[in-house]
Structure 1
Amino acid sequence: MINLLHGNDEFSSNQFLKGIVEQKNISEFDLNVVDTNDLTENKFKENICTISLFGTNRLIIFNYLLSKINSTKEKNWENFIDILLNKPSTNEVIFFEKEEINLKKNYFAKLNDICQITLSNIPSGRGSWDLNRKWIIERQKKYNLNISNEGINKLVELLGSNYRYIDNELQKLSNYNPDGNIVIDDIEIMVSGIKEDSIFELIDSIMVKDNLKASKILDNLIEQGNSFFNIINMIARQFRLILITKDLLKMKIDYSDIKRQIQISSDYAFNKIIAQSKETDEVRLKNSLRLLLDIDVDIKSGYKSEKEYIKKLIFLL
């Protein structure tokens, strides 16, 4: 048996790998995780063809080997497939990769015929919201949770596609409410503050044209697994809340009524919105919202890509 686990959703790949290992009877398998940094084709052959001294089956895991082969000269690994095909039947092999491997390239194409392949990529672009919802709905079962639809939507809004982070939050929520029933208020109490801090800080930095700081915050949000669409939607939502609050303040509406009308339950979030509404220019906010709408249309129509806008976004607003 040969398994290939690849894709940029490293958390899901790790969970799948864990499942494979847990299914094995430890007493019948000799587990080996091979350091591939200095691995050559000859050492690879030695690793894969060696029979266990204990008379048991071997499970051999190679981390990032295909990426390494892909970045070196092909002739150094020209016998790679033949070695795999001639390995002892008692040796099972798992190739673990943190990025998607191009299986149409060169001799990697033959892996399609000899490997059981599992591709796990972080959802992005159109349809990613629904995929993230489905992931949470399925994952909550592990922690005996029953999260409301509004709560699931809030988790997607706050955490995007960062499945490792979402999993940590689901675990915290299971401890927070042992009966397993979770509503949006629970999510806002336990999770919202982390993402809100980042968004408020991003808006503050954009408004004062601190492009360096804003770029760093944007990079962190992307590294946490948030899609570009998710980020621009969060920025647009914040701009809209600030504009609505500015109008309500002009009308001399008291704070408690403003909080109710903009439907913000967190005191911290509400106070930040009040502060930003007093400090930001209305014309600039409206222009920024129009720009965000244009960006959204450009990407969805295929006129421009997310990558073209990611680095420019901070400087355009």
Structure 2
Amino acid sequence: MFYLFHGDDEYRRSLELATMKSKLGDQSAIDLNTTELSGSDLTLDQLIFACDSVPFLSDKRLVIVHGLAARLGRRKEAAEEEEDGEDVFLERLEDYLSNLPETARLVFVENRAIGKGNPIRKMVSAYDHGYEHEFVPLKGFQLSKWISQRVEEEGGKIDRDAVQLLANYVGNDLRLLDQEVGKLLTYVGQGRSISRDDVERLVSYVREASIFDLVDAVGTRNTKLALQLMEKLIDDGNHPLYILHMITRQIRILLQTRELKDKQTEPGDISALLGLHPYVVKKALAQTPNFAVTQLEELLHRLLDVDVAIKTGQMEPVLALELFLTEAGR
């Protein structure tokens, strides 16, 4: 059998692969009977060798190939002689898949959704022993349901508004959500349901989201809301210098993100280049239309002046922040 696992939901895709590996036996059997290959420079002989190898202490071998479908999908953009080589590869691959050994479980894995015209996807559809699973990120009710079920699986309980807050601010990154659920369950212990207050107190992305909202208010010239958010952050125990630092960090992220976006850089590449979590980049990209590059540069200069004024004792921290937010909203 052979499979195509594709789509943006890395967490559920990894769980499915882990389930397939577990069926091979214990860890030693898994190690002996699992081969992972990069499709970027894979030859058909390498693939055949891996799939034809006889399983050891198991009745199946698992061969996982990363990125081959994407590579073959780009073949039309290649030079003519390279295209001919890929066409030969495809012909031989199709012949081999029709006679794939019963002992082999071959999985083509892609980090993004693959179009219906992709040759690997076409092969999966053409054979009875081919299977496709697109891992589409969960949204809305499905995402909320997943959070609730994950908490229940771990023996906990969670309030509905806490579920909604997690979904809104952490998003559909299930791996990150799983980590945050674990922290929350450890924090509340047994017998108590996770509340909205617990999420606001413990989940780092929720705390950071308050900074996103504050910067949003600056970008839309909503000074009243910006000041209210600042007061809430202070009431929650955040030091004014911490708030200043987080605003500066966010403005700098916005400037860097805006510059890369203007160069047509993909969100995933922006995340890698800046060393930021995809959630942070997603929020920044949503904010960039509110700011011109010159405005972001000016805000950074003002923030530096505020930092110096506070640290040299020229201004009281809360007053300095209030003045900055008031001037930035003009």
Would you call these one fold, judging by a TM-score over 0.5? Answer: yes
Asked if 1:119 is matched to 2:134, the reply is yes
Asked if 1:168 is matched to 2:208, the reply is no
Residues 73, 118 of structure 2: 8 Å contact kept? no
C-alpha change, 1:277 and 1:22, in structure 2 (3 Å) is same
Deviation at 1:43, TM superposition (A): 1.8
Matches within 5 A, 1:1-317: 1-26=1-26, 30-36=32-38, 37-52=40-55, 56-72=59-75, 73=83, 74-75=86-87, 76-106=89-119, 108-112=121-125, 113=127, 114-123=129-138, 128-179=139-190, 181-191=193-203, 192-201=206-215, 204=218, 213-216=253-256, 223-224=278-279, 278-281=326-329
Deviation at 1:132, TM superposition (A): 2.1
Q: Percent of counterpart pairs with the same letter? A: 19
Residues 4, 108 of structure 2: 8 Å contact kept? yes
Deviation at 1:176, TM superposition (A): 0.6
Counterpart-to-counterpart distance in 1, 2:137 and 2:320: 31
Residues 69, 119 of structure 2: 8 Å contact kept? no
Residues 69, 118 of structure 2: 8 Å contact kept? no
RMSD (Å), alpha carbons: 3.7
Q: Which amino acid aligns with 1:182?
A: I
Render the CA deviation track for 1:237-274: whole Å, top value 9, x for unaligned: xxxxxxxxxxxxxxxxxxxxxxxxxxxxxxxxx99996
Counterpart-to-counterpart distance in 1, 2:23 and 2:326: 59
Can you give the 5+ residue segments of structure 2 that lack an aligned partner in the other structure? 76-82, 222-246, 259-266, 291-317
Counterpart-to-counterpart distance in 2, 1:164 and 1:2: 26
C-alpha change, 1:200 and 1:32, in structure 2 (3 Å) is same
Residues 7, 120 of structure 1: 8 Å contact kept? yes
Counterpart-to-counterpart distance in 2, 1:271 and 1:121: 47
Q: Which amino acid aligns with 2:177?
A: I
Give the TM-score taking structure 2 as reference length: 0.61
Counterpart-to-counterpart distance in 1, 2:155 and 2:322: 38
More deviation in 79-88 or 107-116? Answer: 107-116
Counterpart-to-counterpart distance in 1, 2:51 and 2:220: 54
Residues 29, 56 of structure 2: 8 Å contact kept? no
SS at match of 2:64: strand
Can you give the 5+ residue segments of structure 1 that lack an aligned partner in the other structure? 236-269, 283-317
Residues 139, 167 of structure 1: 8 Å contact kept? yes
Deviation at 1:94, TM superposition (A): 1.8
Q: Which amino acid aligns with 1:12?
A: R
Deviation at 1:275, TM superposition (A): 7.0
